[in-house]
Structure 1
Amino acid sequence: MKILITGANSAKALKLLKAFPNHFVLLADYGEVPGISTANYAFQSLGILNKESIAHILLNFCITNSIDSVIPMHEFEVEPMAKSSVLFNEYGIHVLLPSDNQLFKYISNEKNTYQNFAVFVHGECVFASGNEIFIKREEELNGVFGYNTADDDFKLFTL
């Protein structure tokens, strides 16, 4: 599977690499990005940032690069991508975000540096950096969520 993680110029995006050891990860960001490529991951530019057409930029990038799943890390990408997830699904691209109507539950209004993060795909936790075991959540729960302790409410792990 080929996974796109945006926000490549941030430490948070780099942390996510350890969640996908058996997949190829393409780390991308707007503007200049380091030109690094290995067998397991690579960096690539998304071009010039245009917040008005985020979903279009990312869909075109995903199709061009044969991406299977996308994890939008920038806060400004979250809402447009959640609203466009049905369109991405039509192209066989899975957007790892909560559904548009559930998104508000997972957005934090305050900046928080989480100690841990967990990756959920279709309600199943596929990785938890704190090694916790999370039981299956709602079927639609998708995304990367930050938390400090296992009892915390999940919030999107964004930049």
Structure 2
Amino acid sequence: MSILITAANSASAYKLKNQLNSDNIIMGDHMDLPDFMLKPGKLIRLPDPKSVSYTHEMLTLCLDMGVEAIYLFRQTEIDLLLKAQILFNEYNIKILVEGNEL
């Protein structure tokens, strides 16, 4: 199983990645990321929180990638996914808040 860390273009996300010290960490961001960063495979483009189906897109992504925990950094992601925490819990996916808006 994997851990997803959002806000992959931030230093805080990389600091958390180093603290967790796991091989099963996926970094992701909905903000624009250069293509060269996406190709290695451990960095992915996340759904945009502005999408009306954001919660379901994130749930699908987590299920497809075997994610068991999501560390959120941005307030928009936090607000939307915490409202759906019960849904994510049904699939044994933990939603964890890390830090404040970047």
| Cα distance in 2 between the residues matched to 1:79 and 1:55 | 11
| Residue 81 (structure 1) aligned with residue 81 (structure 2) | yes
Unpaired runs of at least 5, structure 2 = none
Divergent runs of 4+, >6 A: none
Which has more helix, going by share of residues?
Answer: 2
Q: Report the equivalent of 1:35.
A: 38
Q: Report the equivalent of 2:16.
A: 16
State whether residues 75 and 100 of structure 2, in contact with CA within 8 Å, keep that contact through their aligned partners in structure 1: no
When the two chains are superposed, the root-mean-square deviation of aligned CA atoms in Å is 2.0
State whether residues 3 and 24 of structure 2, in contact with CA within 8 Å, keep that contact through their aligned partners in structure 1: yes
| Residue 4 (structure 1) aligned with residue 34 (structure 2) | no
In the comparison of the two structures, how many residue pairs are matched? Answer: 98
Q: Report the equivalent of 1:90.
A: 90
**Cα gap change, 1:14 to 1:35, in 2 (>3 Å):** same
Normalising by structure 1, we get a TM-score of 0.54
Q: Report the equivalent of 1:68.
A: 68
Unpaired runs of at least 5, structure 1 = 97-142, 145-155
Normalising by structure 2, we get a TM-score of 0.80
In terms of Rg, which structure is larger? 1
Structure number with the bigger relative contact order (C-alpha 8 A, sep ≥ 6) is 2
| Cα distance in 2 between the residues matched to 1:19 and 1:57 | 28
| 2:53 counterpart SS class | helix
